[in-house]
Amino acid sequence: MTVREFETSGSAQFQGVLLALWWDAKGDWEKAHEVAQDVPGSDGAWVHAYLHRKEGDVGNAGYWYRQAGRRVAAGDLRAEWESMVTELLQRR
């Protein structure tokens, strides 16, 4: 599945972090955050970090990137989102 196909698909196909990123793509940060908070492990922390960075809460984002074992991201949010979706879809 491509990133474009992911964006245009229905939410019923996804769960966990992919569902959170799907909601984010639809512009529903609150729903995306709600879903991400309930996903344990490093992938949940990674998506949680991205969402807080998008929100502008850099300190909280940094905490979650560390929990995920990832470098704190910088730069274009869309590029980070696409990278996350691509990696997570490949593991599916």
The domain limits of the chain are 3-91
Compute the mean pLDDT over every residue in the chain, rounded to the nearest whole number.
Answer: 93
Q: What is the CA radius of gyration of the chain?
A: 12
pTM, two decimals, is 0.92
Angle subtended at Cα 70 by Cα 54 and Cα 34, rounded to the nearest 5 degrees: 45
pLDDT band, very low/low/confident/very high, at 76 (cuts 50, 70, 90): very high
Range 64-88 average pLDDT? 95
pLDDT band, very low/low/confident/very high, at 55 (cuts 50, 70, 90): very high
Residue 3: CB partners within 8 Å, gap ≥ 6?
82, 85, 86, 89
Range 53-81 average pLDDT? 95
Q: What's residue 92's pLDDT?
A: 79
CA distance 63 to 49: 7
Task: Write the pLDDT tens digit of every residue in 21-53.
Answer: 999 999 999 999 999 999 999 999 999 999 999
